[in-house]
Amino acid sequence: MFNYETGHAAVSITVLENISVFLSFLSEVMMKSQVALLYVLIIMSEGSAQSLKPRQSVFFSDVNLKLFKEPDFDGLSSMLVREDIGLLFIGARGKVITLSLDNITEKTGEINWTVTSKEKAQCKVKGKSIEECDNYIIMMHTLNDGRILVCGTKAFEPTCTHLMFEEGNVTMEDSFQSGRGKVPFDPNQNFASMMNGDTLYTAGSINFRGTVMSFQRHGKNYMRTEPTWSWLNGPNMISINFAEISKHSNNNEDDNVFLFLTELDTEDQRSHLRLSRVARVCKSDVGGLRTLQRKWTSFLKARLDCPFGDEGSESLVQDVFFLRDENNVTDSIFYATFTLIPKPSSSCSQSAVCAYKVSDIQQVFRGNFMTFTDSGSWTRYTGTVFSPYPGSCINDEMRAKGVRTSKDLPDATLLFVRKHPLMEKAVTPITGRPLLVRSTAQFSRIVVDKVTSLDGQQHIIMLIGNSK
């Protein structure tokens, strides 16, 4: 989730070479008892991606911003843009407010969703603080019928309901459902979510103590990860993204769902290092017939490499933005911010932006597997690889052999997938190195867009949040 109670924040816009023009852009800046939303913009030419030397930095304090301020408003934890009705929804502690997209200084509505004194008392008995026992609105997604699925922590009793927009007014339904498994109990725990149509995907903790982590698909065809450390080892969930692979596939391969995360190093459990990962499942995965029932049969993961900083330092992914290529989805690019975890002997703080092509990620997931040996280490698997290739998404070749759904996969293939979720090779950035590296910075969120300037050239826009 977003954690906006830091007391300070900044959005640093770093402009690489060949800057051309400024446009409007939307992002958020967080402060206690105040919410600031800013419009800023940057244009970066395609050719400048190789340059690591910033030409100019612009800070939000130097820009004439449009600000929305409201006393006693804190706990900002989710945002949702609804261009169709011209509103920005902001979820916070005990309320959802709406702002006009035409003028973000104008509040158009407010819905209170608080906890009762009894609920708060029961929460405190469980050992939680007064602040933790409020209702933090940490997830909002638009459904196909126009309603908004909204979920809050509700004094460590996760709860969901719907918001509706009728005749210019936003209202909340009277009915509520349990949000357990959809959002964490604890408002301070990170999680990720995505809505594809009316299907919800979530990744985060699913129990009161926050110790059981899962990557799930909710609804009629419920699916989840296998509850074992080799699949997820103390993960911090970052982002879930959907890639419509079938749209441009020559063999009608199933669509992909990508999860970005960090987790404890499974390759060397004694190191206690955290690594950046990308995992992938198939949209139409419905689990196995006997093995991996209601569990992903296509869950594979690989290390996400963003090489910068001193040798031996690890870079951890902080946020991911998916810039889709409408002509070929496999040419689409994930832009990710990273911060450096330096060696104990180093005091250097660095951040970077790396970019990854979907086709490169797919290639890694078609590669060699790692296997866990009796000696307690991971090594390259050199034995027989079953057919269909473990973790593959259903395509025409598999359908021709009678594998129309994941329930048609042989048990031998599924047993292999269960024990071998980790790939040998890492996913490397498209340039072989970061697009941008900054010292004494802590990059957080990133938003990217592609625009065409007046001279007809296309440019990449990058807006990067910086907590320093």
Asked if 200 contacts 193 with a C-beta cutoff of 8 angstroms, the reply is: yes
Confidence band, pLDDT 50/70/90 cuts, at residue 347: low
Per-residue confidence (pLDDT) for residue 37, from 0 to 100: 39
With b for 16 or more beta-carbon neighbours within 10 A and e for fewer, the 33-50 pattern comes to ebbbbbebbbbbbeebbe
Angle at 235 between CA 233 and CA 238, to 5 degrees: 155
pLDDT(27) > 50: no
Question: What are the backbone dihedrals phi and psi of residue 136, each rounded to the nearest 5 degrees, phi first?
Answer: -95, 125
Q: For the chain, give the longest Cα–Cα distance.
A: 66
Per-residue confidence (pLDDT) for residue 62, from 0 to 100: 73
| Interval 399-419: pLDDT, tens | 999 999 999 999 999 999 999
Per-residue confidence (pLDDT) for residue 342, from 0 to 100: 64
Where would I find the beta strands (DSSP E) of 85-136?
Answer: 87-91, 95-100, 107-112
| Interval 262-300: pLDDT, tens | 999 876 656 678 999 999 999 999 999 999 999 999 999
* CA nearest neighbour of 215 among 192, 190, 199, 197: 192
Per-residue confidence (pLDDT) for residue 373, from 0 to 100: 82
Confidence band, pLDDT 50/70/90 cuts, at residue 19: very low
Stretch 301-307: mean pLDDT? 96
Per-residue confidence (pLDDT) for residue 42, from 0 to 100: 34
Q: How far apart are CA 215 and CA 326, in angstroms?
A: 27
Q: Among 66-70, 192-196, 426-430, which stretch is predicted with the lowest mean pLDDT?
A: 66-70
Contacts of residue 229, Cβ cutoff 8 Å, sequence gap at least 6: 266
Stretch 8-26: mean pLDDT? 32
More confident residue, 19 or 294: 294
Confidence band, pLDDT 50/70/90 cuts, at residue 25: very low
Per-residue confidence (pLDDT) for residue 270, from 0 to 100: 62
- The length of the chain, given as a count of residues: 468
Stretch 409-433: mean pLDDT? 96
Confidence band, pLDDT 50/70/90 cuts, at residue 382: very high
Q: Which amino acid is at 427?
A: V
At 118, is the secondary structure helix, strand, or coil? helix
Above pLDDT 70, what percent of the chain? 84
| Interval 148-176: pLDDT, tens | 999 999 999 999 999 999 988 999 999 99
Confidence band, pLDDT 50/70/90 cuts, at residue 237: very high
* CA nearest neighbour of 413 among 327, 288, 313, 230: 288
The overall pTM is greater than 0.95: no
Per-residue confidence (pLDDT) for residue 371, from 0 to 100: 93
| Interval 98-122: pLDDT, tens | 999 999 888 999 999 999 999 999 9
Asked if 321 contacts 334 with a C-beta cutoff of 8 angstroms, the reply is: yes
Full set of structural domains in the chain with CATH: 78-186 (no CATH), 220-434 (2.130.10.10)
